[in-house]
Chains A and B, each alone.
Chain A
Amino acid sequence: MKAIHRTSFPIMGTTASVHVNDSVTGCEFDSVISELRHELNRLEEIFSVYRETSEISRINAGTLHHLDASPEVFAVLDACTWLEQASNGAFSIRRSRTESAINPSGFVKGWAGERSASILSNAGFKHFYLGIGGDFVLRGGLTESEPWSIGIADPRDATRLVATVDVVDGAIATSGSAERGAHIWDPRTGAPADEFLSVTVTGPSLAWADAYATTVFVMGEPGLEWIAQFGQYDAMPVRRSD
Chain B
Amino acid sequence: MSHRKPSIVRRIFPAFALTTVGVGMVHSLDRPAIVGARGILAPMAGTATTTIVPPVSNTPGVTAAPVVTNAPAVTTGQTTPAATSAPAVTAAPVVTNAPAVPAANDCGALTGNGSPVTIAWRRDYGVIQVTAKFMSDGTLCKATAQYQTYDNRSERYESYAIPILNKQASNAGNANIQGVSGATAVSDAYTKSLQSAIDNRA
Contacts and interface: CB of A to CB of B under 8 A. Distances in A.
Interface in B93-143: 93-96, 98-99, 121-122, 139-140
B36 A205 contact: no
A150 B56 CA distance: 12
A174 B181 contact: yes
A232 to B, nearest CB: 6
Interface residues on A, range: 35 or more
B37 A78 contact: yes
A40 interface: no
A160 B156 contact: yes
Contact of B156 (A157, A198, A229, A236): A157
Interface string B49-65: 11111111001011111
Nearest to B192: A8
Contact of B79 (A118, A152, A229): A229
Interface string B32-49: 000011111100101111
Contacts of B44: 204-205, 232
Given A75-B40, A79-B83, A202-B50, A229 B71 contact: yes
The B interface is mostly helix, strand or loop, or mixed, namely loop
B92 interface: yes
27 contacts: A8-B192, A75-B40, A79-B41, A82-B37, A114-B83, A134-B180, A134-B184, A140-B92, A142-B98, A142-B178, A146-B176, A150-B178, A150-B180, A158-B161, A158-B182, A160-B59, A166-B53, A172-B50, A180-B121, A205-B44, A208-B80, A230-B80, A231-B74, A232-B44, A234-B68, A234-B69, A242-B62
Given A134-B187, A163-B54, 15 more contacts: A19-B178, A82-B38, A82-B41, A134-B180, A141-B92, A146-B176, A151-B164, A161-B180, A162-B62, A165-B52, A181-B122, A202-B50, A229-B74, A234-B67, A242-B62
Give 9 nearest A-B pairs by CB, closest first: A170-B48, A153-B183, A174-B182, A115-B85, A153-B182, A158-B183, A159-B156, A202-B50, A204-B48
